[in-house]
Amino acid sequence: MKKKILYLAVALSFSAGLGTASFALAAESEAPAPAATKVPNNWAYKPVQSVTAPTVKNEKWVKTPIDAFILAKLEEKGLQPSPEASRATFLRRATLDAWGLLPTPEEVENFENDRSPNAYQTVVDRLLASPHYGERQARSWLDLARYADSAGFQNDQTRPNNWRYRDYVIQAFNEDKPFDQFIREQIAGDELWPDKLDTKIATGFLAGYPDNYNSRDLVQRKYQIETDITDLVGETFLASTIGCARCHNHKIDKISQKEYFQLQAFFANVVVNEKAPLPKGSELPADKIYAEQQAAYQAATKDIRAKQKAILDTVREKGRKYHNERYLTDSRDSIFKPEKDWTPLDKWVNYRTNAVASERDISAYLKDSAENKKSKEYDPANEARWAEYEKLTAELKKFDHLRPGKGSSTYTAVSELGTEAPETRVRFTGIHEKPLEAVEPAVPALWSGNNTKLNIVPTATSTGRRTALANWIASPENPLTARVYVNRAWGQFFAKGIAENPGDFGRAGPKPTHPELLDYLADNFVKNGWSTKQLHREILLSNVYRQASAEREDIIKADPDNSLLAVYPRKRLEAEEIRDALLYASGKLDGTIGGPAVFPQVPSNLTAGNTLNNGGGGGLWETSKDVKDFNRRSIYTFIRRSLPYPLTASFDPADPSHPHHKRDVTTTPLQALTLFNSDIVVGWSQALAGRVISDVGNDEGAQLDRLYQILFSRKPDRTEKAALKDFLKKEEKAIQAKAWTDKYEIAVPTGLEDTQRLDPIKSAAFVDLVHAVSNSNDFAYRF
Amino acid sequence: MRKLALLGLFTLIAASINAQEVEMDMDLMQTIEDTNKSLSSNIALQRVEASTTDAKELTAMFEIVEAHFIKKGDAENAVTLSKKSKDLTIDIVKFVSDKKFDDASNSATELSRACRSCHTFYKKE
Amino acid sequence: MTSRRDFLVNTGLGLGGAALSGFIPGVGGISAAYAADLVDPLAPKQSHFPAKVKSVIWLHQNGAPSTIDLYDYKPDIVKLAGTEVPASFLSGIKTSTQGGVGKVFASSRSWKQYGESGAWFSDLLPNLAQHADKLTFIKSSVTIGATHDISILKLNTGDLNPGRPSLGAWISYALGTANPDLPPYVVLYNGKSEPRAGSVNWNSGFLPAVYQGTAFRPGSSPIYYLERPELRAAQQQRNSLDLLKHLNQVGSNKHPSDTELKARLRSYELADRMQVSAPEAVDLSKESDATKDLYGLNDTATASYGTTLLRARRLVERGVRFIQVVTGEPEGDTDVTSWDAHDDLDKNHGVMAKMVDKPIAGLLADLKSRGLLDSTLVVWTSEFSRTPWGESGTGRDHNPWGYTQWLAGAGVKPGFTYGETDALGLQVADKEKAVDTYDLHATVLQLLGLDHLKTTYLNNGRSERPTVVYGKVIKDILA
């Protein structure tokens, strides 16, 4: 209650001129609520302050300045931080957070035995130096980038080269690319470094919007694409729900509809080439494999395809015209206008028309003109052509097994169609058919104070608008960028951001619980050259991060949300972590980094009845023929927007239709069914059982120790061990009982070189034990 | 402490009403909303003292709102609704002191509805 | 994090006394220190008063259908078509920043009255119209109409921000499960992917995680991994689950208040039972051809939605308390994926109405003939509706100011209409009769035997209820 009164008093004091009185009141009111009431509504837009760590009573506890900020608030409330977690718990926690994988028992042992004062630094530096680090950190960024390997909408066609952007992100984290550079490359890499391939691939960030290649209204499509990109940039870098201002002035934050469209204008001239040919000499090993496979397929099907082309050539002109006439009026106006009269918008529409034109348009025309006697296009001569064409299609299908299952010889990048952009107009209630006044690019005053107009310098081929925007976002003076980013980082390690909603720094989002800490981190981040690794390092080495997660009665009473972090917040592993950690524990993880997205096994009923194809001649999910692909890290699993990968789908993965700011945690029986029943997971349990037996031989006690060390970084305690042994006895009986039935098949450990000395019943019981243990909370959570 | 704070509140309100123009800003509305939520919780938990405090605070705040709309003019609906809200908070104080928590709960819900109707008309873009 | 103390208080355990007698009745009295560990959070609980309804089927029409083109017949729309909306209709509406709202748009509908009640239906719903006398219309629905995501969240949780429990979660919490072998709260949808507004719409918010909804996929295999692997015998499975339970119990002793860890422990037990109960519950092969036809399973336009509704009926039969059905899209190649007809309303609503009309009519007929309509409540609902003025020439914009939803089944007056909109179907005619999300929720809870003011949960020291601080039971529609 005190909080409310204070709030009101402060609010009124501004209008009534009683500031002193109200603050005196603040000082007198007792025990303010933990949420920082003094933080003003517009906290996020004030310049980042250079803050020094507060003084605390228990100075010994402070290992990094972070600790002082956290401890100061705890001391204010008379609370103690939690004791340090054990080294093993710490390492499991840190390895999951840094790599998304488990530490090996050897890594734990080394760490536990490292008595040097730098033991923690050594281990954290080791984690940050591994390429696994980038594989884990990239995933969070891809959540924001609404990354997928397909286009979405009805046909959900494959985007065969999007993985190049994904690999760019992984590499950016691994080489600790300064975040300001990372911003510039992703927003304007093509303008700033037109000669570099990787900065062009970086613009795949913008290009990842869900797209409908069949859209007949290209002017609307353009608007939808710009809308997606504007919202993406606003949400991701600036934690603003800017999208709300598209249809009306923002109801909560002071952003007008006009300002929204001014921001959208930065992207008015953007086009995406999804099929840019890879420059010679830049091919990766995966590209060479693709090229070979593609060449083999091309060679084998050369004649058929030539014949098909010859048939389509007979109707090509008519078919193309027919297809183009089916666009909506304003698109048609552009398409049928002579090129010399093209406005920038006409250029855009024509670019798009060509980009989505395909042989299928012509074959569809041929079909219609051959079969549909009511159609004006009907031509009896086409009947035979269509029959022949269909025959050839069937023949071509026989060579499908030769098609490359993944990869491409292209890349996707953003560019512009000249130095002049199509005009951007405010849209009445956000509807594209209702244009109002035209606007020029500018950033909302809420974010930028009075400097809303940026200095835009065109390049030779481009408006330069995105460069100006990228430079503004990546500027050390921008109050939002660094704060938003460090807040996200904090949320990754402590389950919640300092400002709880990482996607909304506006008035609707909760205010930061530790605003000074947020500023300290943001300020330091910029001073350290926007280094993500240094930021993560400081967090990982803080005493806050080292705390035990065991529940505390006093904290539950005093701070039930744990917003003061007196206890380390335990968290369920994310979808990818669950799969990767199990795969890793089983010893089967294929460590290959990067490359085309892969298709691991799926339940047989996944695609049953699904008639859609991927746009390249295959189905939506064609399980890889290469079993190595089954064991790659989850970040490499193909993301089909309409068909989430079933094994991880129930564990709250990112939804790629929008920037995904925070992974939810749901707990459902479907998750239990997945982990307990999936034959894939059972297969990993068999492999893990085999690994344990190979490691320590047949001694039961040693096996149990080893298993626990692999999965939980600790040995089982006495009660657990007793339960495990008791289980083995019972389970052996149950398996023996099966011998009396007709079907006597058992799951035994796999991957063993010597299976001679294996007791099948004992070892099958051990597989079941491994399986149950890897389903437990101790596995699925990091404590 | 509570008394002191309340006293401060009333002083401020008096001061602000006497001042030129009471700012009807989001913060005041937010405070009303928060207090209303707290009130509803306190009635459900049958906490006499806390419910009374909340209701009285609301009475004071609706006085500000009412004054604001009277001064603004051409807002008959808003004046009526803020007066109705204020009266409801007074009813609630009575109900609570008589331990009629069901009636208090109903009035609190009625109060929330009044807030909503008012917002339908006067919410700023 | 929810503390054990909160949990005990809220289940009526641990703390007795007059002050808390208002909480869910029927389970008070026990005060064991670890009661929360012993007591099944999904155990059936007594309602506040005798329930009229055992199960609710919540038919969320995703994307906001235009109810002035379905139920709310407004001849004036045709009369005024092509003219600006008269200013008198717009008072109190903040539609946008600049310019007028656009011209009145009439879609190409024809209208007829049906049944003894004489309810109006457009030609888009010929099958449902046959059940006119089973429906209770609320023609004065209102809500907050910002964007779909936000208003959908409000429709399901009452709040515009994620974090509050959904209605189904409140019901699971207040009543427990009527069938321990299935989740009490199931979500069905017939789109290709999960409804875009996502799991926040069936989450448990601050309630313990065990009360959240469980989403079944559409199509022939609604639940992956439902079968035990072939190599694992039943006894092996039992032993394994016992071990798992034991390990999880030992583990959660360090976190006695952690309801999420407990929910995960429980989820394995439920999953185990679901292996037996769920395949049967979702398997439609035993349904007669006549029944399948009734739900439109014989037509691609209606088959996918019909399948979800037939599944919904099977779940009702098996005691599932709350079945949230979200409309998706029909099978086959169509651009239409929701009711969101900003342009080409005729085409959009043609597809969507066709998709739902026969299946919903089939559901009502089927529930009736099986005697289930006496204990089931069907709610036809949407996040908002659409304006009488046109958008893009052939579509309609969002309308949260006055629209139609309906209920059918136990406890409500059949063939009855509550409230009305103005002559253009834009705003509620009588603001006193406006029915907001909270009022609908309060009414549904009432029918389930729950007083929404007393269905409470203590979260961070604050008593929370499903209707936030609002909600008024619509007494006039109760039978």
Q: Mean pLDDT over residues C292-311, rounded? A: 96
Q: What are phi and psi of C201, to 5 degrees?
A: -85, -5
**For residues A687 and A588, is the Cβ–Cβ distance under 8 A?**
yes
Nearest CA to C476 out of C422, C381, C385, C407 is that of: C407
Give percent of chain C with pLDDT exceeding 90. 68
CA C379 to chain centre: 7
Cβ proximity of A12 and B12 under 8 Å: yes
CA dihedral for A268, A274, A276, A278, sign (positive or negative): positive
pLDDT of residue C161: 75
* Separation between Cα atoms, residue C190 and residue B1, nearest integer Å: 58
The model's confidence at residue B73, banded by pLDDT at 50, 70 and 90, is confident
Per-residue pLDDT reduced to its tens digit, A6-32: 333 333 333 333 222 222 223 333 333
Predicted local confidence at residue A247, as pLDDT: 66
The answer to whether B22 faces chain A, any CB pair under 8 Å, is yes
Q: How many Cβ atoms sit within 10 Å of the Cβ of residue C188?
A: 24
Among C88-92, C94-98, C317-321, which is the least confidently predicted range?
C94-98
Region of poorest pLDDT, from A222-226, B22-26, C211-215: B22-26
In this predicted structure, what is the pLDDT of residue C8? Answer: 36
The length of chain A is 783
Place of tokens 């500023």: A519
Query: Rounded mean pLDDT of C193-207?
Result: 82
CA distance C179 to C186: 12
- The answer to whether A319 and A312 are in contact (CB under 8 A) is yes
- Burial letters A261-276, b for 16+ CB under 10 A, else e: bbbbbbbbbbbbbbeb
What pLDDT is stored for residue B7 in this prediction? 40
Which chain C residues are within 8 Å of B103, Cβ to Cβ? none
Considering only the beta carbons, identify the residue of C196, C231, C254 that sits closest to A551. Answer: C254
A462-488 tens-digit pLDDT: 999 999 999 999 999 999 999 999 999
Most confident of A754-758, B16-20, C276-280, C377-381: C377-381
Q: How confident is the model at residue A608 (pLDDT cuts 50, 70, 90)?
A: low
Residue A108 DSSP SS3: helix
The pLDDT value recorded for residue A9 is 34
Check pLDDT > 70 for residue B90: yes
pLDDT digits (tens, 9 = 90+) for A290-349: 999 999 999 999 999 999 999 999 999 999 999 999 898 889 999 999 999 999 999 999
C-alpha pair distances (Å), A337 with each of A354, A416, C406 = 14, 20, 51
CB-based contact, B46 to chain A, within 8 Å = no
Q: What pLDDT band is residue A596 in, cutting at 50, 70 and 90? A: very high
Section C405-412 average pLDDT:
97
The pairing of strands A571-572 and A781-782 is antiparallel
More confident residue, A212 or C421: C421
pLDDT tens, position by position, A220-236: 899 989 999 999 999 99
Q: How far is C257 from chain B (nearest CA, A)?
A: 22
User: Please, how many CA atoms are within 13 Å of residue A363, restricted to the half-sphere of its CB?
Assistant: 15
What's the DSSP call for residue C478?
Answer: B
Q: Please name the residue ranges forming H helices in A562-608.
A: 575-585
Question: pLDDT grade, residue B122 (50/70/90)?
Answer: low
Kindly identify which residue of chain A lies nearest to residue B29, measuring between CA atoms.
Answer: A8
* pLDDT for B25: 64
**Does the structure show a pLDDT above 80 at A253?**
no
State pTM to two decimals: 0.83
pLDDT in tens, A694-739: 999 999 999 999 999 999 999 999 999 999 999 999 999 999 988 7
Predicted pLDDT of residue C202: 93
CA distance B98 to chain A (A): 23
Q: For chain C, what is the mean pLDDT?
A: 87
Beta strands of C289-442 (E only): which ranges? 322-326, 376-381, 385-391, 395-399, 403-409, 416-418
Residues of chain B with Cβ-Cβ distance to A507 below 8 Å are 26
Record: contact C95-A429, CB cut-off 8 A:
yes
Contact partners for chain A, using 3 or more CB pairs closer than 8 A, are: B, C
- Statement: residue A142 has pLDDT above 50: yes
Tokens 């989850």 belong to residue: A634
Out of A34-38, A498-502, A612-616, pick the least confident: A34-38
Nearest to C41 by CA among C253, C156, C214, C183: C183
Q: How far is B20 from chain C (nearest CA, A)?
A: 28
Average pLDDT in the A249-259 region?
A: 80
Chains in contact with B, counting 3 or more C-beta pairs less than 8 Å apart as contact: A, C
A597 or A255, which is more confident:
A597
Q: What is the per-residue burial (b if ≥16 Cβ within 10 Å, else e) of A624-651?
A: beeeebbbbbbbbbbbbbbbbbbbbbbb
Partner A contacted by B67 (CB < 8 A) = no
pLDDT for residue C26 is more than 60: no
- According to the model, what pLDDT value does residue C350 have? 96
**Closest CA of chain C from B15, distance in Å:** 31
Q: Average the pLDDT over each of A31-40, A537-546, A639-648, B111-120 and give the range with the smallest value.
A: A31-40
* Chain C contacts in chain A segment 633-692 (CB below 8 A): 641-644, 646, 649-650, 652, 655, 657, 664-674, 676-679, 682
The residue-averaged pLDDT of A42-58 equals 94
Give the pLDDT band (50/70/90) at residue C379: very high
Span C200-209, average pLDDT? 87
Chains in contact with C, counting 3 or more C-beta pairs less than 8 Å apart as contact: A, B
- Which amino acid, residue A542? S
Residues of C whose CB is below 8 A from B109: 453, 467, 469-472
| Chain A: residue whose CA lies nearest to B15 | A16
* pLDDT of res. C68: 98
Q: What does the block give as tokens for A136?
A: 């884990």
Nearest CA in chain A to C228: A677
Q: What is the pLDDT of residue A330?
A: 87
Q: Using DSSP, state whether C136 is helix, strand or coil.
A: strand
Tell me the mean pLDDT in the region A271-278: 97
pLDDT band at A387 (very low <50, low <70, confident <90, very high): very high
The model's confidence at residue C94, banded by pLDDT at 50, 70 and 90, is low
Question: C151-166 as b/e, with b when 16 or more CB fall inside 10 Å?
Answer: bbbbbbbbbeebebbb
CA A182 to chain centre: 16
Distance from CA of C430 to the nearest CA of B (A): 12
For position C23, what pLDDT does the model report?
A: 36
Q: What is the pLDDT of residue B52?
A: 95
Share of chain A above pLDDT 90, in %: 77
Are B113 and C463 an interchain contact pair (Cβ–Cβ within 8 Å)?
Answer: no
**What does the pLDDT look like over C105-150, one tens digit per residue?**
999 999 999 999 999 999 999 999 999 999 999 999 999 876 787 8
A745 to C227: CB separation less than 8 angstroms, yes or no: no
Alpha carbons within 13 angstroms on the beta-carbon side of residue A39 total: 26
Best to test chain C binding among B36, B76, B85, B109 (most C CBs inside 10 Å): B109
Each residue's pLDDT tens digit, A433-472? 678 889 999 999 999 888 899 999 999 999 999 999 999 9
Q: What is the pLDDT of residues A183-221, one digit of tens each?
A: 999 999 999 999 999 999 999 999 999 998 888 889 989
**Count of CB pairs separated by less than 8 Å, A with B:** 79
Mean pLDDT of chain B: 78
pLDDT > 90: what percent of chain B?
46
C3, C94, C152, C239: best to mutate for the A interface, most A CBs within 10 A: C239
- Can you tell me the mean pLDDT for C41-65? 95
**Chain A stretch 689-728, residues whose beta carbon is closer than 8 A to a beta carbon of chain C:** 719-720, 723-724, 727
**Three-state helix/strand/coil letters over B89-122:** HHHHHHHHHCCCHHHHHHHHHHHHHHHHHHHHHH
Phi, psi of C129 (to 5 degrees): -55, -30
Interchain proximity B113–C472, CB inside 8 Å? yes
Q: Do B125 and C94 touch (CB under 8 A)?
A: yes
CA distance C193 to chain A (A): 5
Q: Where are the beta strands (DSSP E) in B3-101?
A: none
| Mean pLDDT, residues C434-446 taken together | 97
pLDDT at C221: 78
| pLDDT score at B11 | 41
pLDDT value of position C337: 84
**pLDDT band (50, 70, 90) for residue A607:** low
Q: Searching chain C, which residue's CA lies closest to the CA of residue A671?
A: C267
Alpha helices for A559-627 (secondary structure H): 575-585
Count of CB pairs separated by less than 8 Å, A with C: 226
Residue type, position A736, single letter: Q
Is the separation of the CB atoms in A454 and A441 below 8 Å?
Answer: yes
pLDDT at A123 over 80: yes
For the segment C251-268, what is each residue's pLDDT rounded down to a tens digit?
Answer: 888 898 888 899 999 999
pLDDT at residue A614 in the model: 61
